[in-house]
Amino acid sequence: MKRIALLGMPNTGKSTLFNRLSGASARVGNWPGITVDLMSAKILLGGHIAELIDLPGLYDLHGFSDDEQVVRHFLSNHTVDLVMIVLNSSQIDRQLSLALQIKQLGLPTLLLLNMQDEAKRAGITIDTVAMAAQLGFPVQTISAKYGDGCPQALQAAALVLNTPVSTIPSPAHVAQLLEVDTQIEQTMHNIVKHAVQMPTQLNDETTDRIDRVLLHPWLGLPLFFLAMFLLFQFIFTAGKPLQDGMAWLLELFRTTALEPLFASLPAWLNGLLLDGIYNGIGTVAAFVPIIVLFFLVMSMVEDSGYLSRAAFLMDTLMAKMGLDGRGFVMVLMGFGCNVPALMGTRVMRSRPMRLLTMLVIPLSLCSARLQVFLFMIATLFAASQAAYIMFALYMVSFFTIFLTAILFKHQYKSTEPFILELPPYRFPTPRQIWLRGWQEVKHFLSRATKFIIIGVVLVWLLTHYPTNVAPASSATWAGQIGQLFAPVLNPIGIDTQLAIALIFGFVAKEIVVGSLAVIYGLQGDALSQQIAMNIDWVQGMSFMLFTLIYTPCLSTIATMKSESKSSGFMWLSIVWSLALAWLISFIFYQGARALGL
Amino acid sequence: MTVLSQLTPGQQGTIHAIHAEQALYQRLNALGFRIGKQIALIRRASFNGPLHVRIGATDIILRESEAQRIQLDLA
């Protein structure tokens, strides 16, 4: 099989082209030694099945950023039959350097000049024949967004692939060449002079006008918060009915199809299949609508060019926490749901900064935790106090995010300079938006499903075995674990029943209230009264603090592992959040008791 | 000698020298920061935030600390 590497500078529409060429067949591939996800797809080209790989955007083949190292690592370890370089036509005068660097490697190459539509509007004309003659490989103008020139580009690619070459440079040879630094400034200048006509000063009036408002010294930040609030509202108001609908469908399928079907099975197998595996599938499915919506909105924000503007607006504050403005957007989204927020950190191209952002996101009070708090507050506090308690919990959430970022910012110190391009505002096409949402869901399902189902089954086992005792009672394995940890949990006011609820909460916070019903064997008001009798408000508050800070859910853990590609990092996140949860609950509980509350 | 961070929004200059270690130098270079190029400061973010500059067709944001390393000749 032929292998085609797609590479180019950031913001040149490389991924748009990849999506156009691959359709929905793209998948995330595993490449040894590479810590970011590389999308790849099999495409039919000139009678060959070729594997097309979307390499991360890079400025300079000899650069030192994480992404530049990934590309070098890839080219130094894998044979490549064709390199397709994607550059932005409007910025060809500086981006051509990348094409010249690739040329030096001697790999079969095709240069694609993207955003032909924008260049045309800006009055730039490029003589591709003259450029190709100077470069020594074919050049094709395209518009990846609208598809213009893409069939011709594929033909050109097929032609290059079918042209017999004496030898394709071996990865080892490429690796050697990559170490040689080069002077190509002069060549670049010559080619541009001969082949490109460009107005001296390019002005995108529309972008300038929008920027004058959106990046306004006083209006910029309020508008940013307003925009974030509206997006957030949209995702979660539109997401709620979809999630409810999904839950309803799953329940319907269970009661009408699965329960009669499995009725004759032994109780343990029935329980394992329905309460274990099927509930696990349900847990995964519940995230699908939110992830789709989140990435529909995120791809709009990202492709429109606003995300880089957010970085500009929020940088001052975030820099103090060792993060940048894009991290802020993700943390904010974490207040809705941690899982897509973690996946969204992929826009951050510096690995340390991305890890730091991923470490703080699970501390944001997501909508699932909100449900637990609303129930506990209604049970233990007067209605007049409810708003204050809720506000306090949000403050604690912000505090833990801030504390974690400050404490870990030296471990995850980003060495990359904060220099970002501000692309002009663009409207993404519906196709671009839809493909992105679909790919992210596929990604989540393929990476997280197994992990989550195993976790749900495990918790089911712990809370239903041994079989001769009441499910979720203190006599089950979960209860025994709760008792085992009593020396640790007593100092924070958490009894065995609540400890079992915390074990359930490890799967998903959505099921905590339901699990309390199972644990106490009561429903509705009776359950609230029983809890209010069993624990006082200090214990309840301690329980809420712990719930707020410790691991949000299995899906978050699974996403953490698949996004960081590091089990060690996943464990760090789990251990840190557990330790912090215990510490803060301990300080609160013992402090309150010391004050005689 | 003026450095980029001293410009006021709307002011322009020509890049005279870039004082940066290799990694930063290469990144700046790839984004079009080259000696002899015209550069304009478009705006600054509030609270001493990053600078928004324009070189040719490219708009770039960078922090004060990086902007201090770019020396300009004023027109």
> What are the sequence ranges of the domains in chain B?
2-74
Angle (nearest 5°) at CA A522 between A521 and A528: 130
ipTM reported for the complex surpasses 0.90: yes
Looking at the complex, does the CB of residue A109 fall below 8 Å from at least one CB of chain B? no
Nearest chain A residue to B60 by CA distance is A421
**What's the distance, CA A551 to chain centroid?**
17
For residue A566, name the pLDDT band (cuts at 50, 70, 90). very high
For residue B59, give the amino acid letter: D
A126 or A468, which is more confident? Answer: A126
Residue A355: C-alpha distances to residues A10, A35, A67, A212, A287 (Å):
21, 12, 15, 33, 22
Percent of chain A's residues with pLDDT above 90: 29
Q: Are A369 and A380 in contact (CB under 8 A)?
A: no
Question: Does A94 contact B30 at a Cβ distance shorter than 8 Å?
Answer: yes
Contacts of A185 in chain B (CB under 8 A): 34
Looking at the complex, does the CB of residue A344 fall below 8 Å from at least one CB of chain B? no
Q: What is the mean pLDDT of residues B33-40?
A: 89
Question: Does A59 contact B26 at a Cβ distance shorter than 8 Å?
Answer: yes
What is the domain partition of chain A in residue ranges?
A: 2-202, 213-365+386-413+431-447, 454-594
Pick the CATH number of A2-202 from 3.40.50.300, 3.30.1490.100, 3.30.420.40, 1.10.274.10: 3.40.50.300
Q: pLDDT digit string (tens) for A171-209? A: 888 877 776 544 566 677 778 878 887 665 555 688 888
Question: How far is A319 from A332, CA to CA, in rounded Å?
Answer: 16
For residue A163, name the pLDDT band (cuts at 50, 70, 90). confident
**The residue count for chain A:** 597
Task: Reply yes or no on whether the pLDDT at B21 is more than 90.
Answer: no
A236 CB neighbour count, 10 Å cutoff? 17
Which among B26, B56, B61 is the nearest to A312, CB-wise? B61
Nearest chain B residue to A65 by CA distance is B23
Looking at the complex, does the CB of residue B68 fall below 8 Å from at least one CB of chain A? no
Which among B29, B46, B61 is the nearest to A422, CB-wise? B61
Per-residue model confidence (pLDDT) at position A548: 96
Looking at the complex, does the CB of residue A317 fall below 8 Å from at least one CB of chain B? yes
- Cβ contacts from A onto B, under 8 A: 113
Question: Does B31 contact A90 at a Cβ distance shorter than 8 Å?
Answer: no
For residue A588, name the pLDDT band (cuts at 50, 70, 90). very high
Looking at the complex, does the CB of residue A315 fall below 8 Å from at least one CB of chain B? yes
A384 Cβ neighbours under 8 A, 6+ residues apart: none
Question: How far is A558 from A125, CA to CA, in rounded Å?
Answer: 49
DSSP per position, A532-547: HHHS-HHHHHHHHHHH
Per-residue model confidence (pLDDT) at position A185: 64
- Which range, A258-262, A269-273, A275-279, A547-551, has the best average confidence (pLDDT)? A547-551
Per-residue model confidence (pLDDT) at position A176: 76
Per-residue model confidence (pLDDT) at position B22: 79
Contacts of A90 in chain B (CB under 8 A): 57
Question: How far is A180 from A182, CA to CA, in rounded Å?
Answer: 6
CATH top-level class of B2-74: mainly beta
Question: Does A93 contact B56 at a Cβ distance shorter than 8 Å?
Answer: yes
Q: What is the mean pLDDT of residues A429-457?
A: 80
Which among A202, A211, A419 is the nearest to B57, CB-wise? A202
Residue A259: C-alpha distances to residues A249, A262, A274 (Å):
14, 5, 8
Q: What is the mean pLDDT of residues A506-513?
A: 83
Question: Does B66 contact A419 at a Cβ distance shorter than 8 Å?
Answer: yes
Looking at the complex, does the CB of residue A246 fall below 8 Å from at least one CB of chain B? no
DSSP per position, A29-77: EP-TT--S-EEEEEEEETTEEEEEEEPPP-S-TT--SHHHHHHHHHHHH
Per-residue model confidence (pLDDT) at position A174: 80
Nearest chain B residue to A92 by CA distance is B57
Task: Reply yes or no on whether the pLDDT at A430 is more than 70.
Answer: yes
Contacts of A416 in chain B (CB under 8 A): 27
Mind telling me how many Å the CA of A211 is from chain B's nearest CA?
10
Contacts of B42 in chain A (CB under 8 A): 211
Question: Does B27 contact A59 at a Cβ distance shorter than 8 Å?
Answer: yes
Which among B23, B45, B57 is the nearest to A313, CB-wise? B45
Question: Does B56 contact A218 at a Cβ distance shorter than 8 Å?
Answer: no
Per-residue model confidence (pLDDT) at position A584: 97
Q: pLDDT digit string (tens) for A140-156? A: 999 998 889 999 999 99
Contacts of A202 in chain B (CB under 8 A): 56-57
Per-residue model confidence (pLDDT) at position A180: 58
Mind telling me how many Å the CA of B6 is from chain A's nearest CA?
18
Per-residue model confidence (pLDDT) at position A325: 78
Per-residue model confidence (pLDDT) at position B69: 92
Task: Round the average pLDDT of chain A to a whole number and report it.
Answer: 86
Q: Are A486 and A496 in contact (CB under 8 A)?
A: yes
For residue A39, give the amino acid letter: M
Residue B43 belongs to what H/E stretch?
A: strand B38-44
Helices (H), A490-550: 496-505, 512-520, 524-534, 537-549
Per-residue model confidence (pLDDT) at position A407: 94
Percent of chain A's residues with pLDDT above 70: 96
Per-residue model confidence (pLDDT) at position A24: 66
Looking at the complex, does the CB of residue A186 fall below 8 Å from at least one CB of chain B? no
Q: pLDDT digit string (tens) for A55-68? A: 998 888 887 788 88
Q: What is the mean pLDDT of residues A547-560?
A: 92
Q: pLDDT digit string (tens) for A385-408? A: 888 998 899 999 999 999 999 999
Is the peptide bond between A466 and the residue preceding it cis, with omega within 30 degrees of 0? yes
Residue A361: C-alpha distances to residues A68, A74, A504, A564 (Å):
26, 30, 21, 13
Per-residue model confidence (pLDDT) at position A396: 95
